[in-house]
Amino acid sequence: MGKAKVLVVDDEPDLVEFIARLLRAEGFDVLTAYDGINAMDMTENERPDIILLDIMMPMVSGYEVCQQIKANPMTRNIPILCMTSAHSIDARARSRQAGAATVIVKPFTPAELVAQVRRHLPEADDLQS
């Protein structure tokens, strides 16, 4: 069984790099994307085990990306953890309606982020199928 593959999607390069370093140090393989279009392409081509997805991005919002990934039979079972600085109940509700497994509110602690990724990662048996 290989390392779990995490796709990190955010339009803030510094945050993407921070999260990528953190997750690599925890033993994950990390893919990165800086917009929704690339995120959808990478999801289809690379099949990550889990996705960390920013909601507020230019061109295509995280909500739309989430809906597209969940609408595709090949990618619908990939857990998506939406990240947002919007502390509103509406942001949480829209994320869940789009198909997100949970919402992580920015700013978050490194320990919180890693715990959420591990919590929502499919079981090892599921990763091999």
Torsion, Cα 67 68 72 76, to 10 degrees, reads -40
For the chain of 129 residues, list the mean pLDDT of each consecutive stretch of 10.
90 98 98 97 97 95 97 97 89 93 95 97 57
Q: What is the pTM of this model?
A: 0.93
Residue 50, pLDDT score: 98
Residue 125, pLDDT score: 46
Question: What are 13's two structure tokens?
Answer: 């390069």
Q: Alpha-carbon distance 43 to 66, whole Å?
A: 11
- Assign domain 5-128 one CATH number from 3.40.50.720, 3.40.50.2300, 3.30.70.1280, 3.40.50.300: 3.40.50.2300
Question: What are 109's two structure tokens?
Answer: 């602690």
What DSSP state is assigned to residue 105? E
